Structure 1
Amino acid sequence: MQEQLNNPLHGKRLDTIIEHLVSYYGGWEGLGKRINIKCFNENPSMKSSLTFLRKTPWARQKVEELYVRIINKR
């Protein structure tokens, strides 16, 4: 448990992270401009995004890094 104290992603679900990013950037279009991933730019939905990000480690890493940058600005 001690190891996770400084991990901002600990306990965060991927869908919660995506919802936060979509809200922060004013919708899927805004998020798609920050991270150029097809699931954010072509018929975006939570389901398609979750499916893609769970199967694609490099894309998930980009999403998680963006989320951490945002929450560290606070």
Structure 2
Amino acid sequence: MNKDPLEGVTLKEIVTLLQARYGFDELGQRINIRCFTQEPSVASSLKFLRKTPWARTKVETLYIETLHARPPSAGV
């Protein structure tokens, strides 16, 4: 069965997970959009991403790639 990894996941959950995993500095390097590079917050990011389909697609793609990546090693 090929389940959509975005099914049942809110944009807020995606941004929160990515921010916790990478921090806004690295998110801004991975996806160069102002909501991650200039005065970033989850709330401002959500506002921008909900109005900007191309940016939302990039964030969703990074989320899917993150799900398939190996978890970071503890203590490293």
Instruction: Give the TM-score, by structure 2 length.
Output: 0.85
**Is 1:55 matched up with 2:55?**
no
Instruction: Give the TM-score, by structure 1 length.
Output: 0.87
Return the alpha-carbon distance in structure 2 between the equivalents of residues 19 and 30 of structure 1: 14
**Is 1:45 matched up with 2:76?**
no
Return the alpha-carbon distance in structure 1 between the equivalents of residues 53 and 34 of structure 2: 15
1:31 to 1, 10, 27: 27
Flag structure 1 segments of 5+ consecutive residues without an equivalent: none
Flag structure 2 segments of 5+ consecutive residues without an equivalent: 71-76
Query: Once superposed, what is the RMSD of the aligned Cα atoms?
Result: 1.4
Identity %: 51
Indicate the structure with greater helix content: 1
Q: Deviations over 1:39-70 (max 9, x none)?
A: 10000011110010000000000000000011
